[in-house]
Structure 1
Amino acid sequence: MSDEGPPGGSWTFLTSHARVLLALARDPEVRLREVAETCVLTERTVQAIVADLEQEGYLTRVRHGRRNRYHISPGAQFRHPAEAGRDIAGLLSLFADDPPAPRTPRRGPQRA
């Protein structure tokens, strides 16, 4: 697996750090290999991102036997000055659940 980037373009709205954080919020017991597949990153990149997030207080890692469980800190603040004073709880609530089903266009009344 490689850091290929998104299909059809060279940029996305969310960073790799945000994507990894959201994947861990969705499933706190997920294996990092699965996070890498979901986020289209290498496993090594995901490990480095998890280390960054843990070091900055966005998550904690607790060992359960041979597995890790990740606890997200929803009160942690965004780092960029443009989002200063906002915590990540809003981001988590917006994206942590499964994505909604795609909308189908509504048609108005059919005229004969």
Structure 2
Amino acid sequence: MNDVPQPHTGWTFVTNHARVLAAIADNPHARIRDIAAHCRLTDRAVQKIIADLEGDGYLSHTRDGRGNSYRIQPGKELRHPAEAGLGLTVASLLSLLVQDETDRTTPTGPRPRHDTA
């Protein structure tokens, strides 16, 4: 079983649910095994996370041939009570986690972002 990711010890800033959601936002047609490899999770863990996200209305899917096509609900507010009433949405979270298309094609990695405000 060489394809099972090594377990991570310690804490991280981003939850596995957020990682899976960001991977789907980056590629709505990704297979579960590809999402799992990208997030360094097992296929079973990704299936559970997708079920959680669908159950709470953050995500839906439709069959697309032999695969799935996922749709994220960008206006859905984050569920933690600390964010209640702040208007923090899935879109605002994903704006921090998902690479821009231009960043993906830059060989040296993401370019610095400059505010023009």
Instruction: Give the TM-score normalised by structure 1.
Output: 0.81
Alignment check: 8 A CA contact 1:3 1:42 kept: no
Percent identity reads 52
Question: Residues 58 and 68 from structure 1, CA distance in 2 versus in 1: closer, same or farther, beyond 3 angstroms?
Answer: same
Task: Name the structure 2 match of 1:81.
Answer: 81
| Unaligned runs of at least 5 residues, structure 2 | 104-108, 112-117
Distance 1:39-1:62 versus aligned 2 partners, 3 A rule: same
C-alpha RMSD of matched pairs (Å): 2.1
Structure 1 portions without partners, runs of 5+: 104-112
Secondary structure in structure 1 of the residue aligned to 2:35: helix
**Cα separation, 2, equivalents of 1:93 and 1:63:** 26
Q: Which residue of 2 aligns with 1:36?
A: 36
**Amino acid in the other structure paired with 1:92:** L
- Partner of 1:61 in structure 2? 61
What count of residue pairs does the alignment treat as equivalent?
101
Letter in 1 for 2:26: R
Work out whether 1:91 is the aligned partner of 2:93.
yes
Deviation at 1:51, TM superposition (A): 0.4
CA–CA distance in 2 between the matches of 1:77 and 1:68?
24
